[in-house]
Structure formats: C-alpha cells, structure tokens
C-alpha cells in the first residue's frame, strides 16, 4: 500500500467516525495507537488493453511503446490537475473499449464532460495513484523523453513527493489525534457514568443535553432544510456577492467555514481564490458536502472535517477569515453563534476577518386585527362549536411569520448590535430597555415583532452604526453588503419573530397615536432546551400599570 493510500485510509477512518456518536469500540485505546496496515499488491491495468503491471510508470511506458500514447507527456502539455487527469484516464478507457483511435494531440475539450469523473473501471488503481505522479512544472515536456526525464530526475521528484506526503500525513495525524482524543473522552464519560462512588456527576454530560444536540445536528442532515436555505436568495446572494466582489480579500488566504452544510460558502471562497478552506460540520450533511466539493473540482482546496468546532482539531494554528451562516430565528435561536465565537477566539488571526461582521436587531409594536380574527378568535366558533382549547400555548410561543409592514403601529427601535469581532457569549443573554411612539390609532396592542439585519464589511475597523438599516445601506453609498429580515425587505426564510399578547390575561384597550410605550426586553435560554430561545417583555403605556409576558421558541 502506498503512503498516499495509507493517508486516505486514515482520513476515512477519522472523518467517517462520528465524534460524539454512541457507536464507539470499547477496545483499549492502545489498540489504535500503532496501526500497521496489511501489505497489498496493486495491479495497474493498461489504458488500452487488459495487460497488468505492478508499477504505474511501467504501465505508462507500455502504453507509450505499444500504442504511441504518452500519458505523462500529454498530462504535462495540457497542465492537467488531479481531477482532469481522472477525466483523461476514464476518457481513454472509454474510447479504447469502443475501438477508437486516440490522437496524442487531443485537447482538454475532448474530455471536459464531468461524465468522465465517474470511474470507467471498477477499483481502478490508476485513479487512486494519480497523486503519486510528479508535480507538473511550468515548462513543457519533451514527448521523446517522457519516461527518461522521470528517471533522470528521480531524486528531485522523490524529494518533492516526500515533502508532499509529510504534509498529508501531518494533516491526517492531526485529524486522527482529534478522533482518538474524542473517542477516549467518550469512553471516560461512560466509565464515569457507571455506578461508582468516585464518579463525578458534574463531569458527565446530561442525557437530555446530549439528545438535544443530537437532534439539532441530525435536523441538518436532510435536503429539505438546505434546499430552503440555498433558495433563500436574500441569504445566499449576500454571501456570494460579498465574497465575489472582494476577491482580493480571499486571494491566497486560509478560510474556516463553521457549519458548512452543503459546502456552498466554502466553494464561494475557493472560487474567489482562497488558498485553502476548512469546512467543518457535525451533521451527516458533511458527506454530501465532500461529494459536492469533489464534483466541482475543489477537492485540492477544500478540506471537510466532521465534528463540532469545539472538539475538532484543524491542521493549522490560525486562519485569515471565518465565514459562517450561523443566524437562527430572531438571530440567536439554535445558539450556533457560541460556536462561531469559539472558533474566532481559537483560530482567527489578530487581523483576520469575520463574515458577516455586524448584526443589528430591531423591535416594534404591532396591531393586526385580521391575523387575530383568522388565527386566534377563529377557535372560539368553529361551525358553531367552542374550540378555544386549541388556543392553549398560542400566546406562549414565538411565532415565525412574514408580517405585512402595515402591521407595525409604532416607531421601530434598534435594541442590540453585535460586533462579531468583540462580542462574547455573555452578550447573548441580556436585558435592555426600549421605547416606541405609537404612530396610529389602534383598538388594541396585539404584540411585538423582532427581526435582524446582517452586515458584511471588508475591514475590521469598519463601523456600522447601531441604527443602520440594511435595506437602505447600499443606497447611502456605504461599502460592504447588507440584508434585512424585516417586513420592509425581500422575504427570507428567517421571516420575523412575532410575540402575541394574551389580551385576556393582559388587559389592553384602545391606544391613540402619540402615546408612548416604555418597555424592557430580555433574551435568555430555556431550561429544557439549551438551543432554544426565551424572550420576556415588560411594558407600560403612558405610565399605566406595567404588564409582562414571556414567549419561547423550542
């Protein structure tokens, strides 16, 4: 087995084993410390017939001498990378089977179809060893000396190859160490969880918390949620436009994509010129991301890593840019921002970039008698039957809705700004005061609406005022990219968070334009769901008695 095959095997074992999974082997840790792979004989089948060889260069020499086809010279002349070399091999095999003559003057256009990425020959050892071929230099290759030059420059080629393999094994070693450490930690937790007077309960992760995390990551393993996000042009276009319009920021840089999903943001970065991208995700979607990245010929630029960013080990000490689409409903639902801040503190260089960089959050009072009639009062008379039991909990939930702008009945208020360069975890649970002047006469105050704006700024020292609105940001001549999830913007999958007031418990009468709401807003985490969100509100109008209510998003 070649050293590169050993590396592939170790990567497969490390990334294919779910960190945090219950499917771990109880065998002592020492058994995987010194893995010695079994030796195997690799046979390379000729590109034109069934002749077999134990050496890939001997096979290429055979094809050159018998069929006049110098694979190495053509690869050098066309400057083929790993993926185009795969296409060429499969193209030759397909043409040879049909009995067609293959010209040595062929061009890339002859085998550009992605169909040739699919192996023509099952378990084709040639494909698995293309990365063992010498690195292509900028000089053209002399057809008459294709094999001769390889032999004459064997020492320099071996030096280059050894250097490449050392780098590969260094990366694999880092990933495998992370895997081994994680498995060891899991075994320790299980041992501690066994009945014992010495076990420390504080060190054992609660089953409920583990189940919630498992549910969270598994919910991102299926296509539906990713299709929804990718089709959300408000979201995806903003990332694409910022990255493509600022290619100079990405050229030659190392990027970390936290929660990579399908790999779309990683591929944006790679296409913009990033030197390398590390795509991290703890969901099974990472396997599809790997395929997407391979199918788009970014396998040499993007490295996929399975695991939580808090537990994974990157093969680099620092990165130049962190990109992540971490935003949840009402911005903070799902608590993914904590992971992004962890990655920032551990990996981002002092002058590195956060994408996006700033978040502004807004709140407004709403009055929507039509919605109340259609969805709340409706249950009080359904074909003559009283079904108010169906209303249970409806005033305790944060509803995710697209609300018409005209439902806003007062001034909107910017209650929070998060600067992703300086924000920390304690900033994510907070209490803040806000106020709003009622702008039209209403029969009753029906609730409150919350949304957020995202800003993508090209420099760390760029300032985004707290009261900046994303929908008007580009029109005011500002740099960067911004989008809003508010009612005055193009609809997005985030919609708005709506909290309806229970006007049976909280008495509320008509309010006139010009009256003022004085309020206190709090964001916290529900006890039963650490990835959930609880919003509490206290408010009064014209110094009337204070009212209060809480809502949750589980």
Answer whether residue 206 is part of any domain: no
Q: Which residues are catalytic, by number?
A: 325, 334
Report residue 44's pLDDT band, with 50, 70 and 90 as the boundaries: very high
Burial readout 384-394 (b: 16 or more C-beta within 10 A, e: otherwise): eeeeeeebeee
Contacts of 9 (CB under 8 A, 6+ apart): 1, 37
State how far the Cα of 270 lies from the Cα of 301, in Å rounded to an integer.
7
Closest alpha carbon to 519 in 451, 447, 466, 453? 447
- 420 with 316, same domain: the answer is no
- 373 with 459, same domain: the answer is yes
Answer whether residue 315 is part of any domain: yes
State how far the Cα of 4 lies from the Cα of 56, in Å rounded to an integer.
14
- 369 with 471, same domain: the answer is yes
Q: What is the pTM of this model?
A: 0.62
- 319 with 458, same domain: the answer is no
- 466 with 363, same domain: the answer is yes
First to last CA, the chain: 51
SS3 category, 202: helix
Answer whether residue 392 is part of any domain: yes
Domain count across the chain: 3
- 479 with 396, same domain: the answer is yes
CATH number, position 502: 2.70.160.11
Range with the poorest average pLDDT among 114-128, 175-189, 380-394: 175-189
Burial readout 103-133 (b: 16 or more C-beta within 10 A, e: otherwise): eeebeeebbeeeebeeebeeebbbbbbbbeb
pLDDT over 80 at 2, yes or no: no
Looking at the chain, how many residues does it have?
A: 554
pLDDT over 90 at 49, yes or no: yes
- 405 with 536, same domain: the answer is yes
Q: What is the pLDDT of residues 256-275, one digit of tens each?
A: 999 999 999 999 999 999 99
- 400 with 253, same domain: the answer is no
Answer whether residue 345 is part of any domain: no
| pLDDT value of residue 131 | 75
Closest alpha carbon to 103 in 88, 113, 117, 116? 88
Domain containing 441 equals 358-553
Decide which of 129, 145, 164 is a domain's last residue: 129
- 298 with 419, same domain: the answer is no
**What are the two backbone dihedrals, phi and then psi, of residue 51, each rounded to the nearest 5 degrees?**
-60, 135
- 371 with 479, same domain: the answer is yes
State how far the Cα of 413 lies from the Cα of 477, in Å rounded to an integer.
23
- 402 with 301, same domain: the answer is no
Decide which of 325, 346, 372 is a domain's last residue: 325
Answer whether residue 248 is part of any domain: yes
Q: What angle do CA 205, 210, 214 make, to 5 degrees?
A: 155
- 368 with 289, same domain: the answer is no
Q: What is the pLDDT of residues 287-305, one digit of tens each?
A: 999 999 999 999 999 999 9
Please give the C-alpha separations between residue 248 and each of 92, 203, 253, 481, in angstroms, as whole numbers.
39, 46, 10, 16
CATH number, position 261: 3.40.50.150
């Amino acid at each position: 087995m070649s050293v590169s095959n050993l590396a592939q095997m170790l990567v497969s074992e490390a990334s294919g084993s779910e960190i945090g999974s219950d499917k771990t082997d109880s065998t002592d840790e020492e058994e995987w410390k010194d893995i010695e792979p079994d030796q195997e004989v690799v046979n390379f089948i000729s590109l034109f017939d069934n002749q077999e060889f134990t050496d890939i260069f001997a096979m290429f020499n055979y094809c050159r001498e018998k069929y006049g086809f110098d694979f190495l010279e053509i690869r050098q002349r066309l400057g083929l990378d790993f993926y185009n070399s795969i296409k060429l091999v499969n193209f030759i095999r397909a043409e040879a089977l049909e009995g067609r003559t293959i010209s040595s003057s062929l061009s890339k256009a002859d085998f550009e179809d992605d169909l040739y990425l699919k192996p023509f020959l099952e378990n084709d050892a040639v494909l698995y060893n293309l990365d063992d071929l010498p690195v292509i230099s900028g000089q053209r290759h002399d057809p008459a000396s294709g094999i001769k030059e390889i032999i004459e420059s064997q020492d320099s080629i071996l030096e280059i190859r050894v250097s490449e393999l050392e780098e590969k094994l260094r990366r694999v070693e880092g990933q495998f160490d992370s895997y081994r450490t994680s498995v060891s930690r899991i075994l320790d937790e299980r041992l501690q969880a066994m009945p014992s007077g010495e076990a420390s309960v504080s060190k054992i992760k609660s089953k409920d918390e583990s189940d919630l995390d498992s549910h969270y990551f598994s919910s991102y393993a299926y296509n539906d949620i990713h299709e929804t996000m990718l089709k959300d042009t408000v979201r995806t276009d903003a990332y694409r436009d910022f990255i493509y319009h600022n290619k100079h920021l990405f050229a030659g840089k190392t990027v970390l994509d936290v929660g990579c999903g399908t790999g779309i943001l990683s591929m944006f970065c790679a296409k913009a010129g990033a030197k390398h991208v590390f795509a991290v995700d703890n969901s099974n979607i990472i396997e599809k991301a790997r395929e997407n990245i391979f199918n788009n010929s970014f396998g040499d630029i993007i490295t996929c890593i399975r695991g939580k960013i808090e537990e994974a080990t990157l093969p680099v000490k620092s990165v130049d840019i962190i990109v992540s689409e971490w935003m949840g409903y009402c911005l903070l639902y799902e608590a993914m921002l904590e992971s992004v801040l962890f990655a920032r503190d551990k990996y981002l260089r002092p002058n590195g970039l956060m994408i996006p960089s700033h978040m502004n959050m807004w709140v407004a009072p709403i009055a929507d008698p039509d919605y109340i009639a259609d969805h709340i009062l409706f249950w009080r008379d359904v074909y003559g039957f009283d079904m108010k039991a169906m209303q249970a909990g409806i005033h305790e939930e944060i509803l995710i809705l697209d609300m018409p702008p005209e439902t806003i009945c007062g001034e909107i208020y910017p209650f929070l700004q998060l600067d992703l360069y300086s924000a920390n975890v304690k900033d994510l649970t907070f209490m803040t005061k806000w106020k709003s002047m009622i702008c039209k006469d209403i029969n009753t105050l029906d609730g409150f609406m919350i949304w957020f704006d995202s800003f993508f700024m090209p420099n760390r020292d760029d300032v985004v005022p707290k009261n900046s609105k994303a929908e008007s940001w580009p029109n005011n001549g500002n740099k960067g990219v911004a989008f809003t999830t508010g009612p005055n913007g193009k609809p997005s999958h985030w919609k708005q968070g709506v909290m309806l007031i229970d006007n049976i418990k909280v008495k509320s009468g008509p309010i006139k334009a010009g009256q003022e709401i004085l309020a206190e807003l709090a964001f916290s985490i529900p006890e039963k769901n650490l990835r959930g969100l609880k919003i509490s509100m206290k408010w009064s109008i014209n110094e009337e008695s204070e009212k209060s209510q809480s809502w949750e998003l589980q």
